[in-house]
Amino acid sequence: MTNFEQDKEIQELFDSFLIETEELLDSISSDLMVLESNAEDIELLNRLFRSFHTIKGTSSFMGVDSMASITHQAEDVLNKLRRSELKVNLNIIDVLLEVHDWLKLLLDRVKARNFEPVDYSKTLEALAKIDKRGGEPDDEPQKAKEDEQTNDSPKTQESALEAVLSDPDLVKKPGDFTQAEIDLIDDAFLEVNRQLYLDVIIGTNYVKDNISEATEKIALHKKDEESEKDADEKASKAISKSKTATSPMQALESVKAKEQKTGSETIRVDINRVEALMNLSGELVLGRNRISQISESIALEGKEKELTRELLEATAQIDFVTSEIQTAVMRMRMVPVAKLYQKAPRMIRDLSKEFNKKINLVVKGEETEIDRGIIDELNNPLVHLLRNSCDHGIESTEERLSKGKPADGTVTLDAEQEGNAIVLRITDDGKGLDTEKILDKAIQRELITQEQAAQMSKREIFQLIFQPGFSTSAVVTNVSGRGVGMDVVKTNIQNLKGIIDIESEEGKFTTFIIKLPLTLAIIQGLLVRVGTNAFAVPLSSVIEVVAFDESKIYSINHKEVIRLREDILPLVRMNKFLNLKEFVKKNNQYIVVVGIGLMRVGLIVEELLGQQEIVIKSLGDYLGTVKGLAGSTILGDGKVVMIIDVPELVELCFSNSDLINFVS
């Protein structure tokens, strides 16, 4: 193997270790949370034991001794728990959670290629204390098991094997083996081998079978079928045997496991490959758009009718298949929201402790699937929102009781798919948002004026808490808060092309609603013309399109508005906003009404060009971020079109930015 190949394999191995350990840590964390209420669940204890066990094995291989040694201690404790030598209690779970946290920290450091050890001696001490309270390692059940097996073993044992098996000192003596003992054990294994293959010469000829197999391969086809049948028989035999060999419980479990396996088999694929496939399918969409456009114009020309019809048919087929491929690839990137929500139980537990409140967690719709890239970016916002609910939402036990509410607060996490969007809801049954207080604070912090405050709707007031500089708690706390406010949450969500909204009723509840696109890469766009240029408006934020008349425009507070049914709609002249020329014709213009949450803005455009699936491409480094533009895309005819950033535009509009036109 070349050096390069070796390096690559090591890198792959390293990556695999990181991914696997992270998954195991996640499962340890959620298992530990469940363990609190399911202390007797032996299957749970076994799984926890195996998780630690695997981390111990792989980390020692990767040379991360700091991980291996603490895992080793934790594994000992779990071993005692599952052998019922120890009883699960809160202290044990706390310490094991500590171990989990250390491992997570170490793993993060390993990720950054930092192999320095950390000082977890306190946790080790705590583990050792737990360990001591447990029984001796060589306990009764173990012995009984060994005795049982001695009876099974054949009587034809010869010296070395006999010596190992019958020498209690060799087994019970602590410490490493001496060379003599190692030799003895090696001899013992040799004995086993010899016994195993003793009957090779006489009976069922395993080794010979293998040698002659190669020569027999030629005459195979027919035989294959037979051996398959044979294999089936063997399989059922083996299974029935293994069933009788183990306890009924185990047999049941193995059947269960088998069922699960057939349910959904998975393979691990490098995320970069999926990413590449995603990009390619995006390009495919572009190509498809182009073909459809070309075939449509050919059809319009009306020549070669038969050929045109065939072309249209073929195009329709490609159209269909492309959409299917696109969905399939998208689904490859989808993971259940459970992956995001699984960290919540631990957080709620820690937060209840920190704030000394009793808080229950209810999780719904965890099976809802969402783009993996989005999940990763949602972690921090979720942490922040949960923290917010527990800190500011849920009241103290006394306060709750005095209000006639149940003593324990409840935080609910919910997820569901609504059309092309995923909606996440974080609800607490706490005191709700106090609009007066919010307004006072916003005025005090000079985010709004008294006059503005008087005109604001309930929803607009709620949105104030997302303003930079609104958040009060600048104190850095240990669970999540790094002194960042809700504005960061909103920015995170907006970066994901999502929106965040609040519903709340004073004294009853507060719900944060996060609405996200199913995927980041491909969206439905409404193409509009402004001057000579076409622009795309993401269809997800388009509420409606109306034709209008210049004469219906009023101005309020130096801003152009129009009355749309009973609402006043602020307007943005897209040509001014984008620094383009005046529209040529003054009549027959359109207003594209776009909205974020309940905020609505009308964009004045010259013409509607149609609806199209567009693949978002970034503007590239040389353009950087341009206010009001989310990116670009390529149309079927090869033209590059800019995509309007609706959330940003709406924000600019409501923040009285100079970028939005004023009536002079």
Partner 1 sequence: MRFLVVDDSPTMRRIVINALKTFGINDIVEAEDGQDALAKLNSSKFEFVITDWNMPVMTGLELTKAIRSTDSIKHLPILMVTTRGLKEDIVEALKAKVNNYVVKPFTPQVLKEKIDAILKAIQGS
| Identity of the residue, 38 or 195, whose beta carbon is nearer to partner 1 in the bound complex | 195
**Could you tell me the two tokens for 524?**
């439905």
Relative to beta strand 589-596, strand 599-605 is antiparallel
Residue 411 and residue 426 in contact, taking contact as beta carbons nearer than 8 Å: yes
Could you write out the DSSP letters of every residue in 154-192? -TT--HHHHHHHH-HHHHHS-SPPPHHHHHHHHHHHHHH
| Identity of the residue, 213 or 505, whose beta carbon is nearer to partner 1 in the bound complex | 213
Min separation Cβ 369 and partner 1, Å: 23
The reply to whether 388 belongs to the active site is yes
**Could you tell me the two tokens for 429?**
């049954």
Cα 456–chain centre separation? 37
Min separation Cβ 239 and partner 1, Å: 7
Min separation Cβ 10 and partner 1, Å: 8
| Identity of the residue, 173 or 508, whose beta carbon is nearer to partner 1 in the bound complex | 173
| Identity of the residue, 62 or 370, whose beta carbon is nearer to partner 1 in the bound complex | 62
Nearest to 278 by CA among 379, 368, 377, 373: 373
Min separation Cβ 442 and partner 1, Å: 52
| Identity of the residue, 73 or 427, whose beta carbon is nearer to partner 1 in the bound complex | 73
Pick the catalytic residue: 75, 98, 613, 651?
75
Instruction: Specify the amino acid at residue 356.
Output: N
Q: What's 309-346 look like in SS3?
A: HHHHHHHHHHHHHHHHHHHHHHHHCEEECHHHHCCHHH
Q: ∠ CA(540), CA(465), CA(657), 5° rounding?
A: 65
E strands present in 443-558: 499-505, 509-517, 522-530, 533-538, 542-548, 553-556
Give the whole-angstrom CA distance, residue 355 versus residue 408: 13
Backbone angles phi, psi at 149, to 5 degrees: -75, -30
> 473 CB contacts (<8 Å, ≥6 apart)?
391, 481, 483
Min separation Cβ 219 and partner 1, Å: 16
Min separation Cβ 77 and partner 1, Å: 16
Residue 612 and residue 621 in contact, taking contact as beta carbons nearer than 8 Å: no
Min separation Cβ 5 and partner 1, Å: 10
| Identity of the residue, 22 or 354, whose beta carbon is nearer to partner 1 in the bound complex | 22
> 559 CB contacts (<8 Å, ≥6 apart)?
570, 571, 660, 662, 663
| Identity of the residue, 24 or 382, whose beta carbon is nearer to partner 1 in the bound complex | 24
Residue 582 is classified by DSSP as P
Give the whole-angstrom CA distance, residue 86 versus residue 361: 28
Q: What is the largest CA-CA distance in the chain?
A: 108
| Identity of the residue, 3 or 121, whose beta carbon is nearer to partner 1 in the bound complex | 3
Find the radius of gyration of the CA atoms of the chain.
33
**Could you tell me the two tokens for 241?**
């045997």
Residue 538 is classified by DSSP as E
The reply to whether 53 belongs to the active site is yes
Pick the catalytic residue: 388, 395, 648, 651?
388
Min separation Cβ 32 and partner 1, Å: 18
Give the whole-angstrom CA distance, residue 658 versus residue 562: 20
The reply to whether 75 belongs to the active site is yes
> 92 CB contacts (<8 Å, ≥6 apart)?
77, 81, 86, 130
Min separation Cβ 99 and partner 1, Å: 17
Min separation Cβ 151 and partner 1, Å: 11
Give all strands of the β-sheet with 359-363 in edge-to-edge order: 359-363, 409-418, 421-428, 509-517, 499-505
| Identity of the residue, 149 or 656, whose beta carbon is nearer to partner 1 in the bound complex | 149
**Could you tell me the two tokens for 373?**
């890239």
Pick the catalytic residue: 53, 384, 575, 648?
53
| Identity of the residue, 16 or 114, whose beta carbon is nearer to partner 1 in the bound complex | 16
Min separation Cβ 367 and partner 1, Å: 22
| Identity of the residue, 50 or 372, whose beta carbon is nearer to partner 1 in the bound complex | 50
Give the whole-angstrom CA distance, residue 391 versus residue 485: 13
| Residues assigned a catalytic role | 53, 75, 388
